Amino acid sequence: MTDSRIKEHMEVIGADGVHVGTVDRVEGHRIKLTKADSGMGSHKGHHHYIDIGLVADVEGKKVRLSANANVAVTFEEEGSSRTA
């Protein structure tokens, strides 16, 4: 899997087809999601990341993950080296 196919504003969906977020950009081995898809509560207003290793495929304008959305939402948070 090459991360060159992943572009800004692509939708990220879980293996179950549920919306996870929107690509801001790829940073190294991680996909940075837009703040608009930052979640609720303490997660709100922060960028979140998904490890590129979770990407199963890029289909048109969608990045499909190998994990279901409810599992993939354990993103890394901006400024954190641990999972949220």
pLDDT along the chain (84 residues), means of 10: 83 94 92 76 67 93 93 62 44
Domains of the chain: 3-77 (2.30.30.240)
Cα 55 from chain centroid (whole Å): 9
Report the predicted TM-score, pTM, of the whole model to 2 decimal places.
0.79
Distance CA 60, CA 70 (A): 23
Helix, strand, coil % over all residues of the chain, rounded to 5 = 20, 40, 45
Question: Which distant-in-sequence residues (6+ apart) come within 8 Å of 66 by Cβ?
Answer: 15, 54, 55, 56
Q: What pLDDT is recorded for position 17? A: 94
